Structure 1
């Protein structure tokens, strides 16, 4: 579910921006950049091509949640794109600076961005933004969501057959995902569940699908061309310690409709229970597995 902060014209801009600038032999050094000042060159390939990758994580109590998992996934995405990027040590220093700048009073949405840099040539662009978690995400946590099922238009084996499609990477090319979310909103839904052209459940535009069935948690496997969820991975570790089995299994929409419960899990909204899939209302009973609590414990909210 949503990772975008909502703002209005009469609200002050509370964002923080940290830039990783080229350094000497010690590598890139982070510095705070004024949020109301220009940052990217007009021909930066992030803006004109969506040529780059990103990660978004939660800041809770002034601390970033599971940064190592996000940096590991960012490393996989940047490798798939042929980008070098800052080192993990450099990113961590910048994340810590950004989290300190944000403070501990409210939750923040911290986004790491790596672009190929200016089209004219030059160094890659690396920066971090932090903004408030919007009311849309908080509402989804508290009230749940309705989702519509949309085809992604690819078969479930396209990730293996066409790795240049970058389906398992978190790239900046998000126009199709945002169009899907606008389509959903226009039709009275809060989010989307993608399916493949051969009918397999994939993921949400910004989330991982998780269902409860028979006392276990199930989620689609990465090999069908979806992004590996950092929140799912962290939650699975907590679940294992608490005696709850988490399995990766290929799912159909019929599996979602027959499940004891369905959630969309992500790094900022965290857990949104799905209350409706298209015109079908889902069960509201307690499934006996505290997914929200396990995710809270996994990210340091509990």
Structure 2
């Protein structure tokens, strides 16, 4: 039976000067009921989350994930999470992961119970799915219209585009649609023809020797794995860039990847039925790097 671990957090105020938050954590039985029926995360998807990859009990890129959690909280008008409290909760969850292999830690911050006084927060840890096959053989993707223009996030910030919210119904529907079309995943495009991101991953293209990703100004979630991989590429002398990429530029790419915290780097081998070359050697080097301890 697959293992799991869960920890409820009593959220601390962001200005709390304590260094030990152990008394704010309560381990819970993952098989037992834990949420109230009035919980806003389940009623309305009103909350935010992060998924952190774990390798051999080392939680990867914790700092960037916590920074993004705080960013999402600001966008959603949630109380600012006390980052040191969350960091300690992640460390406890990591200690409960197996000493070898991959796992995933999820951080969830909800608006709480309807009309309640405080948010609800918890952390879970579980075995990660086996992504070795998609890292090796690659994936087929289709482009799907996201339904808004590249300038929509600036004109309508209340849509919360760019926040990692619990409202993932559209993202999951997009993946199901991609599978109905015979693909493995999707890449969103704006209604005015620009490349955005995948439902659960960032997109990286190699065009004329440069590595480019869509600029995070069109409601794109800034990917922690993409940021780390770009830093790695820059250290190796490669050129990286954030650009507003027309969908027509997908045909110019000689290689492409979807990257995320748990799946890591999955090479794209077809876009809308058009075959794309897979750089197996480079992909393997990406994943070797992404499987090393990263803070």
* TM-score for the superposition, normalised by structure 2: 0.92
* 3-state SS in 2 of match to 1:173: coil
Residues 1:81 and 1:277: Cα distance change in structure 2 (over 3 Å): same
Q: Distance in 1 between matches of 2:26 and 2:292?
A: 26
Of residues 289, 292, 295 in structure 2, which corresponds to 1:297?
A: 289
Q: CA deviation at 1:22?
A: 5.5
Q: Does 1:48 align with 2:37?
A: no
Q: CA deviation at 1:83?
A: 1.0
Q: Distance in 1 between matches of 2:285 and 2:254?
A: 17
Q: Distance in 2 between matches of 1:188 and 1:34?
A: 39
Q: Distance in 1 between matches of 2:58 and 2:33?
A: 27
Alignment of 1:1-302 (within 5 A): 12-21=1-10, 26=18, 29-135=24-130, 137-284=131-278, 290-294=282-286, 296-298=288-290, 300=292
Q: Distance in 1 between matches of 2:121 and 2:230?
A: 30
Instruction: Answer whether contact 2:11 2:119 (CA < 8 A) is retained.
Output: no
Q: Report the more deviating stretch, 179-188 or 65-74.
A: 179-188
Q: CA deviation at 1:39?
A: 1.4
Instruction: Answer whether contact 2:200 2:260 (CA < 8 A) is retained.
Output: yes
Gaps of 5+ in 2: none
Residues 1:216 and 1:285: Cα distance change in structure 2 (over 3 Å): same
Q: Distance in 1 between matches of 2:42 and 2:143?
A: 29
Q: Which residue of 2 aligns with 1:5?
A: none
Q: Residues 201-232 of structure 1, C-alpha deviation per residue, up to 9 Å, x if partnerless?
A: 00000011100112210000001221111111
Q: Distance in 1 between matches of 2:168 and 2:158?
A: 16
* TM-score for the superposition, normalised by structure 1: 0.90
Residues 1:75 and 1:86: Cα distance change in structure 2 (over 3 Å): closer
Q: Distance in 2 between matches of 1:199 and 1:232?
A: 22
Q: Distance in 2 between matches of 1:16 and 1:202?
A: 34
Q: Distance in 2 between matches of 1:285 and 1:91?
A: 38
* 3-state SS in 1 of match to 2:105: strand
Q: Residues 19-74 of structure 1, C-alpha deviation per residue, up to 9 Å, x if partnerless?
A: 11367975662232111111111111000011110010101110100000000011
Q: Distance in 2 between matches of 1:231 and 1:296?
A: 13
Q: Distance in 1 between matches of 2:37 and 2:80?
A: 20
Q: Distance in 1 between matches of 2:132 and 2:123?
A: 22
Instruction: Answer whether contact 1:113 1:127 (CA < 8 A) is retained.
Output: yes
Q: CA deviation at 1:283?
A: 2.1
* 3-state SS in 2 of match to 1:102: coil
Q: Distance in 2 between matches of 1:199 and 1:266?
A: 24
Q: Distance in 1 between matches of 2:214 and 2:291?
A: 22
Q: Residues 129-168 of structure 1, C-alpha deviation per residue, up to 9 Å, x if partnerless?
A: 1111113x33221211001110000000001111111111
